[in-house]
């Protein structure tokens, strides 16, 4: 196609050169004096018609191919644009469906997360209540144990203190012989028990 256009341009340039030369030759001849203008005009029209005819005859095939190719390219461009539009509309439709579906999925996930959070909260509350009652029981048991230990410790201290007071009181009232007799008596009782 490019070669045909190139030939057409060269042919047109040659024909234009020929017509320009013939027009200059006609103009330099003086135009024939004061006669009628019609013969000169008819020659120019005839010259133009011949040049136009030669141009049409030489350029008909390349011009026809050019316009056919251009028409085909435009038709192909329109078809490609139509296909691209259909593809874009289809893709838009799919994306819209996915967005609608994803909105529903997000809503389901939010509801599921809310339910799971409520279940977890309820579980944590019940677990906290169970642990707090267990801690209270352990604290009570610890307090009871500490009270028992303290009570026993106080009893032991009171007994020891009473023993010291009694010992001091007895030590003042008893002499060495009585003390020895009491000690031997206590040792014999302990031996009898063992």
Give tens-digit pLDDT for 13-58.
Answer: 777 777 767 666 666 655 555 556 677 778 888 888 888 888 778 8
Nearest to 103 by CA among 159, 69, 144, 111: 111
In a domain, 185, yes or no: yes
Q: How many domains does the chain have?
A: 1
Residue 106's pLDDT is 82
Q: Which residue segment(s) compose the domain that 173 sits in?
A: 157-193
In a domain, 117, yes or no: no
- CA 65, CA 2: separation in Å to the nearest integer? 10
Residue 39's pLDDT is 72
In a domain, 47, yes or no: no
pLDDT at 109 over 70: yes
**pTM, rounded to two decimals:** 0.34
In a domain, 76, yes or no: no
Nearest to 4 by CA among 69, 51, 50: 69
């Amino acid at each position: 196609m490019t070669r045909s256009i190139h030939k057409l341009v060269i042919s047109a340039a040659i024909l234009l050169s020929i017509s320009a030369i013939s027009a200059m030759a006609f103009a330099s001849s003086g135009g024939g004096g004061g006669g009628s203008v019609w013969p000169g005009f008819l020659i120019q029209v005839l010259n133009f018609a011949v040049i136009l005819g030669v141009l049409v005859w030489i350029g008909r095939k390349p011009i026809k191919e050019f316009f056919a190719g251009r028409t085909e390219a435009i038709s192909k461009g329109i078809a490609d644009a139509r296909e691209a539009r259909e593809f874009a509309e289809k893709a838009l439709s799919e994306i819209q469906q996915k967005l609608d579906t994803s909105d529903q999925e997000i809503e389901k996930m939010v509801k599921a997360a809310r339910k799971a959070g409520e279940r977890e909260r309820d579980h944590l509350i019940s677990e906290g209540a169970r642990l707090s009652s267990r801690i209270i029981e352990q604290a009570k048991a610890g307090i009871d144990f500490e009270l028992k230990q303290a009570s026993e410790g106080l009893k032991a201290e009171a007994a020891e203190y009473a023993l010291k007071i009694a010992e001091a009181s007895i030590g003042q009232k008893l002499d060495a012989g009585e003390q020895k007799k009491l000690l031997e008596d206590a040792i014999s009782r302990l031996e009898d028990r063992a």
